[in-house]
Structure 1
């Protein structure tokens, strides 16, 4: 390996809040590049038109900078390189490594239902793969996708830097869609083309992608390209060893920033999730990690994302700060969370909601406190309607947060109420219980001005932050 060979990438998808897993994988890519004098590229994998949003991209980039990670090139967006992917798909079609598929969603669902009934593997049945030239031409300009032609026999061997060779039989691999009918590539095609075009030498990613690697290797072979070195990092785990998820742990980087975790402590914690220092000490800086780094010390044992360990580590970092430095951090955190009472426009927005309740002008500050106080001091019992348990409440609040996150219309009370009521119709909780829990999560109180008018004034970010805080409390 020469220094000029090393090029790695961080490749987040802008489909939601910035995830700790992105920082975890990003950290090891960044450190590996720095150790070998190479380059770290960031690219935005935004080919999912239905879920990708520019605001998520901005949040991800800001959070990666906050946590202390940098990059040498990018960000590049896949949505801006569609002609590149279409050109490469045509190469695969011309060489016979891929084929067009005109199967309708209805036909594909019928095939899946039959496979369920027969207890057969769930995979595309190859219908369009075997069409004659005349049958294919008969479809004319009808919408189609392009699929990878996976060999019917044999196997592919995945060589991973951390593991013994992994053999996967081709009978287990679907004829993966490469280009969707809307002209956008799927992850698999865009990932391989981009890694080659960007000259990525080492792909450092989570182990959940091991099962997809044979498809990627087939694409490298079809194009006649040498594949990069694959390094699949162990997944972050919940305490029950399941993959880390927002239903069991706060996973948003913004949550940890709001709660006052120091970015250098969070990076230190993420490093410990998959690696250890040669001298086994647990508190170390990013620079010290780079100085001592070797992949020989990677542990594949499924690291548990232990919040108590993170809190301990964060306390260690706080106590290392000088009083002046700590004061500055505290003020930065407070400024990020609060809106000042001298913000006239904000007071003007709150006053109509409280006017009918005010007895004196002095009542305003107490009644309006929840418009300013972040985080709220929740009474856990108030978050739970009678007869409900924390697990149910976590599920409901998480799903409501997802509804509000997807809410694309104006952040106005009527539109918000319509979105939440549409969710209530399919929920197992009655509306009365759900709205009480939502009100408490958003305001910290069971009695407040009209809920959705209050949410309008609080704004999208603060409402979603408070829902995340309430869920985190219920998970404890």
Structure 2
């Protein structure tokens, strides 16, 4: 048997974190078993669907690298197939027409609640039975599935273990509406059957749907797939993850400067484990993944841990790869990487200091753009009269330098310290502020080498002018 999983989102919004984790687990299980992964768009909710949401789901999947073997399939293009199966059940008396109006059903439900009975559809209720008996061919009706009235539905959930639901707890659900459109629970069953889905991995909010769907599989004579229901994701305050916890859309994490590897690594550990290992390559995730290692308990989202992982991937990924993802952020911040050193060299130097690509873009700006003022705090502390002589000595040596290398710049700083009998900080920090505009940067000799001689000369002169003006105003 070829293992076949699917991710089947509804296009009513973006691809959220919970959906992305479900997609990742489904994708990993298929890959681990040398199987196939299907993308299906469940777009039967015609009022809430949007092409924008479809595009957002596809963009999120592609960004995460969760490529699919089949699809995307769209349920709205399969209505003929669903209706064929509805008609099959009608012909076999496994489904029936119901003519009861919504108003009548609301009335019956109110009576049931008043009598402290379970509020549910009851085909034998006198009012519903009377409405059905009085109907004529051509009157508007829905098609209801004839759910078994005895026994239980039992299934072995791969995460939660044995689950049993009595058929008396389920009513005869609608499988085709009055407008002729099929409903979610029915479409899902026909799709999974037609597409050969062997394993359904989804959120725990679908547990109530599963026994209903199993009864429909069996009524159609279709094989019942294996189910695995994942626990929900909570915010760090213990409440269900939502917009108020920050970004919940996958592409928001792209916008906030995360690499897809970091988000995938974080999501896979949000409910699944392999010993004490925290960092997983894509290949390791595929090799080690199993459904029985997924926790039954809800997982709490921890942004600090995600930032730590992102910093790891920025530091350890090939600079060329980081540059591909950084480009979007450079564009957003209006930084032209053609106006300076090779971006890969800058990433090697600055990358390990940054938790996000947004930070990285901000940190590389001074390599590609000149600035007209210094960071106020850094300038106040380091561009003082005492820095004038060391900066003038450094400027003279920089201007005379014929080979612009990190080693020569390091030696230049050492020579200034020796000649003026000062500590490294007395020249290093003023130089750093002069060349970068701020007080934080990697080793100043390496920074100067990448910034380039002309820019360094101009910036040191600007720092000396700043000191002169400061002294004049004093």
Where does 1:380-395 land on structure 2 (aligned, <5 Å)?
none
Question: Offset at 1:107?
Answer: 1.6
In the alignment, which of 288, 294, 301 is matched to residue 290 of structure 2?
A: 294
Q: Is residue 102–residue 128 contact of structure 1 (8 Å, CA) maintained in 2?
A: no
- Superposed CA deviations along residues 57-93 of structure 1, whole A, max 9, x for unmatched, are 1110111100111100110100001010001001111
Corresponding residue to 2:86 among 89, 94, 97: 89
Of residues 56, 59, 63, the one that matches 1:62 is: 59
SS at match of 2:165: strand
In structure 1, how many angstroms separate the alpha carbons of the residues matched to 2:256 and 2:131? 63
Deviation at 1:137, TM superposition (A): 7.5
Matched residue, 2:100:
103
- The structure-2 alpha-carbon separation of the partners of 1:176 and 1:246, relative to structure 1 and needing over 3 Å to count, comes to farther
Q: Distance in 1 between matches of 2:199 and 2:164?
A: 20
CA drift at 1:144? 1.5
Which string of whole-angstrom CA distances, capped at 9 and with x for unpartnered residues, describes residues 436-456 of structure 1? xxxxxxxxxxxxxxxxxxxxx
**3-state secondary structure, aligned to 2:71:** strand
> Which residue is equivalent to 1:51?
48
Please say if 1:229 is aligned against 2:202. no
Could you tell me which residue of structure 2 aligns to residue 393 of structure 1?
none
Residue 331 of structure 1 is aligned with which of 295, 303, 327? 327
Q: Give the counterpart of 1:272 among 246, 269, 274.
A: 269
Q: How far apart, in 1, do the equivalents of 2:131 and 2:113 lie?
A: 32
Kept after mapping to 2: 8 A contact 1:42/1:74: yes
The match for 2:33 among 33, 36, 40 is 36
1:474 corresponds in structure 2 to none
Please name the residue that 1:378 is paired with.
none
Is the alpha carbon distance of 1:314 and 1:97 closer, same or farther for their aligned partners in structure 2, counting shifts above 3 Å? same
Matched, 1:203 2:216: no
**Cα contact 2:100–2:131 (8 A) shared by 1:** no
TM-score, structure 2 normalization: 0.66
Whole-angstrom CA distance in 1 between matches of 2:182 and 2:264 = 33
Look up the match of 2:356.
Answer: none
Aligned to 1:26: 23
1:285 aligns with 2:263: no
| Contact 2:158/2:292 (<8 A) preserved | no
What is the RMSD computed on CA atoms of the aligned residues? 2.5
In 2, Cα distance between equivalents of 1:112 and 1:338: 60
Alignment-derived partner of residue 181 in structure 1: 178
The corresponding residue for 2:306 is 310
In structure 2, distance between residues paired with 1:28 and 1:163 = 16
Distance 1:17 1:115 in 2: 39
- 2:146 aligned partner: 149
Per the TM alignment, residue 225 of structure 1 is displaced from its structure 2 partner at its CA by 1.9
Report the Cα distance in structure 1 between the residues aligned to 2:86 and 2:243, rounded to whole angstroms.
36
The residue number in structure 2 matching 1:348 is none
2:254 is the counterpart of 1:257 = yes
Matched, 1:191 2:188: yes
1:273 alignment partner, SS class? coil
2:156 aligned partner: 159
Instruction: Quote the residue 1:78 is aligned against.
Output: 75
Q: Is the 8 A contact 2:274 2:288 kept in 1?
A: yes
Cα gap change, 1:196/1:134 in structure 2, threshold over 3 Å: closer, same or farther?
Answer: same
Q: Deviations over 1:398-423 (max 9, x none)?
A: xxxxxxxxxxxxxxxxxxxxxxxxxx
Contact 1:100 1:128 in 2 (8 A): no
Q: CA deviation at 1:307?
A: 2.0
In the TM superposition, what is the alpha-carbon distance from 1:114 to its structure 2 partner? 2.6
Tell whether 2:112 aligns with 1:120.
no
SS at match of 1:125: coil
CA–CA separation in structure 2 for the residues paired with 1:43 and 1:77: 6
8 A contact 2:98–2:132 mirrored in 1: no
- Which whole-Å CA distance do the structure 2 matches of 1:328 and 1:222 have between them? 51
Q: Give the distance between the partners of 2:332 and 2:289, measured in 1 at CA.
A: 34
Q: 1:269-324, CA deviations, whole angstroms, 9 ceiling, x for partnerless residues? A: 1100121124x221112222112223332222211122222222222222224556
Q: Return 5+ residue gaps in structure 2 as ranges.
A: 337-474
**Pair 257,163 (structure 1): closer, same or farther in 2 beyond 3 Å:** same
Aligned with 1:13 (options 5, 10, 14): 10
Distance (whole Å) between structure 1 residues aligned to residue 133 and residue 321 of structure 2: 69
- After superposition, the Cα gap between the structure-2 partners of 1:144 and 1:301, relative to the gap in structure 1 and judged at 3 Å, is same
Q: Distance in 2 between matches of 1:45 and 1:128?
A: 34
Higher radius of gyration, 1 or 2: 2
